[in-house]
Structure 1
């Protein structure tokens, strides 16, 4: 859940953020001391809830709310103020709540339970994987992962193809270096590939996506939004499958056949 809080008083802002985190521990909260500061990054944050001080030195909370609603008509606006006279104007904007200072976790929780627009919980999946056509991996925001080695991407493709099952290092090497007489000679290089993959996963807040045991490895499917996984789960019409699967890897042909 993405939440922003805007208040031009540092102590008030810190108090509001603290109360939000106590009331909603799973929320990601960004704080700003002005509407201008918030709008510089608002498209990246895409908040579902906004806590706004009504009267600030450089901004009017009502005006900030109107701009937020113009960007997202379903954003939940909760006004925070020490002045009750703004209440009528605030609710004229169909705000989700109105909190009188000081802000407390109990007041936050009450406002959260009466939101105008339901907030959908974000999926725990943090990486997007395309297997139908060319194999590619993206962040949740759609940015391709920047692996240090091209073989790291292929290593991940092998693990995705395994559908969450463990694969021994020998099985993995037989796939990646299938045209060589002795793939086992790449065991040291494969350790670099695993290190590269682990680095990328940690940078994208999914360090547990790689499962390693002695001599074998797998991926935790819960971290991946993958068309292949969806297809196997029966969601075939939504996957866009058109007879192509990991086109750049010849070892994927048996899976395509199935």
Structure 2
């Protein structure tokens, strides 16, 4: 399920997002501080549920709801506000819910269980990546096979970097630590990259990698990763963490202290 949350107050938006993820940890949610950002996103993406503040500058929540409905009539609108006097206006737009602030996960869950336009169950198109414990990659219900162990470690490092581009020299320092960046090592890095890309092509997931001159990164929008969800505060991901992160690789050990501090 794809949701958006729109509020022009940063802390209110944070509270709303936390309540949504607590009530429905499996949903995908995008946050917007301005209504027009939400409109632009909705033109390009299917929005199943839109959680909207009402009193916002330039374009209020009621007007935003009408625009979102014009883009996609099946979008469920849920108004989240500190004022009860807008209720009649809200339901004239056929809203799925009206929640008064402060928002609670229980109120979110009640609305999600009674949407005006039920959301069809869709397969998650993203590649699932497991970093807690041993590092594993899944495309649908299949484990992605890596023909070289170093190619798998390379992808693990790209996941760890969370979309930041990595040069061949940086990759070499991780895969072949303590070895000088020689012509031979450069060739081995290119071999690992080529092997990884071939494995992804065979699995039908080649679009998860971005490459430019001497720079490689992962497209995090195509990834469903426990580590990313943990950082985002997803309670389910926090519960899944048991003190191990990419146990296959020694270079990942230093992040465990950070992860441990978040669950204490």
TM-score normalised by L of structure 2? 0.52
Match of 1:82 in 2: 82
Partners of 1:48 and 1:206 lie apart in 2 by 20
1:47 positional shift: 1.1
1:108-153 deviations in Å (ceiling 9; x for gaps):
00110110011122213459xxxxxxxxxxxxxxxxxxxxxxxxxx
Q: Which moved more, 1:29-38 or 1:102-111?
A: 29-38
1:191 positional shift: 5.8
* 2:126–2:224 CA contact under 8 A, matched in 1: no
1:148-185 deviations in Å (ceiling 9; x for gaps):
xxxxxxxxxxxxxxx99x9x99xxxxxxxxxxxxxxxx
Change (3 A) 1:191 1:14: closer
Partners of 2:80 and 2:116 lie apart in 1 by 16
1:194 positional shift: 2.7
Question: Helix, strand or coil: the match of 2:5?
Answer: strand
1:63 positional shift: 0.4
Give 5+ residue unaligned stretches, structure 1: 128-162, 170-187, 209-258
1:195 positional shift: 1.6
Partners of 2:46 and 2:21 lie apart in 1 by 18
Q: Which has the larger radius of gyration?
A: 1
- Number of matched pairs: 155
1:59-110 deviations in Å (ceiling 9; x for gaps):
2111000000000001000001111110011001110000000011111001
Q: CA RMSD of the aligned region, Å?
A: 3.1
1:230-254 deviations in Å (ceiling 9; x for gaps):
xxxxxxxxxxxxxxxxxxxxxxxxx
Change (3 A) 1:124 1:34: closer
TM-score normalised by L of structure 1? 0.53
Question: Helix, strand or coil: the match of 2:3?
Answer: strand
Match of 1:215 in 2: none
Match of 2:197 in 1: 196
Question: Helix, strand or coil: the match of 1:40?
Answer: helix
Q: Which moved more, 1:106-115 or 1:192-201?
A: 192-201
Change (3 A) 1:57 1:122: same
* 1:198–1:207 CA contact under 8 A, matched in 2: no
Partners of 2:29 and 2:224 lie apart in 1 by 22
Match of 1:110 in 2: 110
Give 5+ residue unaligned stretches, structure 2: 128-141, 149-187, 201-205, 210-217, 226-264
Partners of 1:7 and 1:207 lie apart in 2 by 25
Match of 2:123 in 1: 123
1:42 positional shift: 2.1
Partners of 2:86 and 2:36 lie apart in 1 by 21
